[in-house]
Structure 1
Amino acid sequence: MEIEVTHPFHPWRGQRFVLATRKRNWGEDRVMYFDAQGRLRSLPAAWTDIDPPDVRTQAAAGRAAFRSDDLLQLASLIDEISTQPSRGPRRVK
């Protein structure tokens, strides 16, 4: 199976590689492939076309920079941080 680099700012965007394996590595979903010199390389799976396009991304057609689920999670995190009591300034040694 071949994968294509789809990340808009990656220098290899549009290049195709033969997929060696896919696994969770360094805390994220990654695809492993061999480069032209035969070295094993990896990329985040989200930077490739290995998964079908997200339905919300397709429906937004480039008009939405963020997914609503992610924005709701961010709002919850901000709310949680803002309601915590302040401990005063932190000193760095």
Structure 2
Amino acid sequence: MATESIRVPKPCTSQANAASTNADTQLVRVTHPFHPLFPRQLPCVGKRYNRHGERLLLQTEDATVWSVPPQWTDLVSPDPEVAMSSGRSLLRVADLMELTGLVERLSSKSGTR
């Protein structure tokens, strides 16, 4: 009987940085307008995976490491809705749908008390 191997991502896929140089470091710009690091460009010192998906580890000048979703950086192409609205749209349709679901779930929980 053949067995199938399933590859599960490790919790942290950060590369060892003991031998890394500044030339090896990829600079990433934070593009989310409400993030405290917007619009700074910082070195990406690794990646992590958690239940919400991939996270980039960005390091500031004071050696603090921030965990940021790749969608909030220039590594991912901008969402077409956001690009077309030129900053005039506060929320995307997908965000509004998610908010609607959250409000419905919270409303049903408070109504059962």
Please say if residues 30 and 42 of structure 1, whose CA atoms lie closer than 8 Å, have aligned partners that are also in contact. no
State how far apart, in whole Å, the 2-side matches of 1:69 and 1:11 are.
23
State how far apart, in whole Å, the 2-side matches of 1:14 and 1:84 are.
39
The answer to whether 1:6 aligns with 2:31 is yes
Please say if residues 19 and 32 of structure 1, whose CA atoms lie closer than 8 Å, have aligned partners that are also in contact. yes
The structure with the largest strand share of the pair is 1
Number of matched pairs: 87
Normalising to structure 1: TM-score of the pair?
0.62
Q: Give the match's secondary structure for 2:111.
A: coil
Please say if residues 32 and 40 of structure 1, whose CA atoms lie closer than 8 Å, have aligned partners that are also in contact. no
State how far apart, in whole Å, the 2-side matches of 1:70 and 1:43 are.
21
Q: Give the match's secondary structure for 1:65.
A: coil
Deviation at 1:66, TM superposition (A): 0.9
Normalising to structure 2: TM-score of the pair?
0.54
Structure 1 unaligned spans of 5+:
89-93
Match of 1:68 among 54, 75, 93: 93
State how far apart, in whole Å, the 2-side matches of 1:79 and 1:5 are.
32
Matches for 1:46-61 after TM superposition, within 5 Å: 46-61=71-86
The answer to whether 1:42 aligns with 2:66 is yes
